[in-house]
Structure 1
Amino acid sequence: MVLPTGYSADAPIPVADYLATNPRVPPVVTVAGRSEQILQKLLAARNGAAREEHSSKADTVSRQFLGVPYRANTLVGAVNRPEELVVDLEAVDCFTYADYVEALKRADDREQFIDRLIEVRYKDGVVGYRNRKHFFTDWAAATPPVATDVTGELGAKSISVAKRLNRKDSGGVYLPGLPEVPRDVTYIPSGSVDDTVVDGLRTGDYIGAYAEDGGLDVTHVGIFVDTPDGPVIRNASSLRANNKVVDEPLRDYVGSIPGIVVLRPTQ
């Protein structure tokens, strides 16, 4: 159980007694616009692929978002503003896209989707700004993990960098009111992403664009898909030429970033 910020007691108390006087308040769930109808279509596609292998299911679910517009800042919550569990399937950024795909893969109805989205997006299953997994590698660092960091296992010479996530190299922080997070981040430099590395990737792996700033782990996230036309990164692109969820040739994309961080989902 996770206790609310500021809770204290002089002595241990039974969990049942605590819950009797401090019941958990259900999160505010905000389903935007046409997202209810879209969710039903997404769940139908997911359930049609329920018996497929993990990689095929990841391809099927993530493909449903191709063409969905890019939009940043769709989540609601801040240090001084209560967090809401937002479901906005009409427009996504790279991180919310990953959230929705991973939650959909793990759910077969609306209720399960909401529960899985909470598990994917928040630490300890508690909806709150401070509990939100703000950094890509939080997926691997959380307990239980959403994904496993396989970057160092892909057959290339990887590099590990000790970072303090949230602390900008130029001074200040990225997320005011939140602490710095010490973490070793492992990446493969773009020049080392050769055929051996690509062959080791699996459809459904999440690929992060390594950030050179010590306060970030990655600057962008996409999903690796091995298509008949070659490997791509399926991502919510903010580039003016795209501004939507697209497939981009993996090698072209890797050539435009410093390196990659690869997380493999646990389910």
Structure 2
Amino acid sequence: MRKPTLLLVLTVLITAGASFAAANLLLRHASPTGPRVAAALPPLPGGVALGDPTPKFVGETRVLAMEAIDATAWAPMNQALVQLARRFLDYPFKGFSLDGGPKEQLVLDLSTFDCFLFVEQLLALSNSRKVDTLDEGMERFGAHVRRLRYVDGEVDYCRRQHYFSRWAEAAERNGYVVNLTPFLPGASSRTVALNFMSNHASSYKPMQLARNKQCITELEKDLVLEQAYIPLAALPGVLPSLRNGDIFALVTKVPGLDVTHVGFLEKRDGVVNAIHAAEGAGVIRSENFETYAGKVQDVIGVAIYRPRPNDGEKKSATESGG
């Protein structure tokens, strides 16, 4: 958990309506939290990663990424994320796009999205700007996606961050986001076991491979999450504290799951909207985030994460011995 003094200061700032700049300054100097998931990572079956770390650019992704980096080159990060999200409005939805072959690959795809990949890749893009050349931007894009998507950058299905809360915890430890949720008015928490994948193995093509099913089942035996969230009833009091580019996650009551949908927040004319990749609709803007979140089946609340600039040089907790 974060230091009590930081929690007190942030609470005072938020409830007093202090400027976003002051609150964000504190957040940028907050120490990353330690892991909140009580589960040791099992060794890789066979002892080695079964995947290809070479970036695979799908379709026109390289061109799309270069254009996006160039168009948002010097915008502040939160504004850049909203600009990036808007660039991909109406792009199609595609589920399970990382599960196409028997071997895990570092897939980069800006031509189709699911909600998770929409957030992950645009966050990586936002950290790949302000470079000397677009080729350097492409190298950074691939490196950031790899670091966000996989534990310790090991490209393997067994090391992919399948649950968004685990992805976000790793992203926070590695300096990509700050979890605002515990500091926001009305915050609550719950304990949830993450075991949806092992309980629905037939729904995941890569888990038809015995070694993948083995590692995921082993991981989820003791995978318990202490999850902070804002109950839907408390959401109106939180909206004034949010800003462009914040990441939202819809917290669910579905057994074995932490969240069921994620995206970016956009503030327009004083109203907080959501831009996200939705099944059956593609990348869309859902106006009035409060109304939208309240209509999604099985949602009990939301979690909010604030992106922060990352130069890609900070070592992971494992690499630094943490």
Greater mean alpha carbon deviation, residues 108-117 or residues 142-151: 142-151
Corresponding position of 1:260? 302
CA distance in 2 between counterparts of 1:167 and 1:6 reads 21
Secondary structure of 2:56's counterpart equals strand
Q: Indicate if the aligned counterparts of 1:210 and 1:218 stay in contact, CA closer than 8 A.
A: yes
Q: Deviations over 1:105-135 (max 9, x none)?
A: 0003111111111112112122211111111
Q: Deviations over 1:56-112 (max 9, x none)?
A: 12212222111111111111378xx32101112111010010011100000031111
Q: 2:176 aligns with which of 146, 153, 158?
A: 146
Q: Deviations over 1:231-265 (max 9, x none)?
A: 10110111x4xx11111121221221321111222
Corresponding position of 1:15? none
CA distance in 1 between counterparts of 2:193 and 2:103 reads 26
The residue type equivalent to 1:165 in the other structure is: L
CA distance in 1 between counterparts of 2:155 and 2:176 reads 16
Corresponding position of 1:185? 227
Corresponding position of 2:259? 218
Q: 2:195 aligns with which of 157, 166, 188?
A: 166
Q: Indicate if the aligned counterparts of 1:150 and 1:264 stay in contact, CA closer than 8 A.
A: yes
Corresponding position of 1:40? 66
Corresponding position of 1:198? 239
Secondary structure of 2:79's counterpart equals helix
Corresponding position of 1:57? 80
CA distance in 1 between counterparts of 2:67 and 2:268 reads 23
- The 1:103–1:212 alpha-carbon spacing in structure 2 relative to 1, beyond 3 Å, is same
Shift of 1:40: 1.9
CA distance in 2 between counterparts of 1:53 and 1:40 reads 18
Shift of 1:172: 2.0
Corresponding position of 2:8? none
Please tell me whether residue 135 in structure 1 is matched to residue 157 in structure 2.
Answer: no
Shift of 1:229: 6.2
Secondary structure of 2:250's counterpart equals strand
Secondary structure of 2:164's counterpart equals coil
- The 1:26–1:86 alpha-carbon spacing in structure 2 relative to 1, beyond 3 Å, is closer
When normalised by structure 1's length, the TM-score is 0.81
Shift of 1:3: 11
Corresponding position of 1:85? 106
The residue type equivalent to 1:37 in the other structure is: V
Corresponding position of 1:13? none
Report sequence identity in percent: 26
Q: Indicate if the aligned counterparts of 2:51 and 2:156 stay in contact, CA closer than 8 A.
A: no
Q: Indicate if the aligned counterparts of 1:59 and 1:204 stay in contact, CA closer than 8 A.
A: yes
Whose relative contact order is higher, 1 or 2, with alpha carbons under 8 Å and at least 6 apart?
A: 2
- The 1:150–1:214 alpha-carbon spacing in structure 2 relative to 1, beyond 3 Å, is farther
CA distance in 1 between counterparts of 2:291 and 2:235 reads 11
CA distance in 2 between counterparts of 1:34 and 1:138 reads 30
The residue type equivalent to 2:56 in the other structure is: T
Q: Where does structure 2 lack aligned partners over 5 or more consecutive residues? A: 1-40, 130-136, 208-212, 310-322
CA distance in 2 between counterparts of 1:6 and 1:32 reads 29
Q: Alignment RMSD, CA only?
A: 2.7
The residue type equivalent to 1:184 in the other structure is: E
- The 1:42–1:189 alpha-carbon spacing in structure 2 relative to 1, beyond 3 Å, is same
Secondary structure of 2:277's counterpart equals strand
CA distance in 2 between counterparts of 1:53 and 1:46 reads 9
- The structure richer in helix per residue is 2
CA distance in 2 between counterparts of 1:116 and 1:135 reads 18
CA distance in 2 between counterparts of 1:227 and 1:122 reads 34
- The 1:163–1:145 alpha-carbon spacing in structure 2 relative to 1, beyond 3 Å, is farther
Shift of 1:148: 2.3
Secondary structure of 1:107's counterpart equals coil
Q: Indicate if the aligned counterparts of 1:202 and 1:225 stay in contact, CA closer than 8 A.
A: yes
Corresponding position of 1:247? 285
When normalised by structure 2's length, the TM-score is 0.68
- The structure richer in strand per residue is 1
Shift of 1:214: 3.7
Secondary structure of 2:243's counterpart equals coil
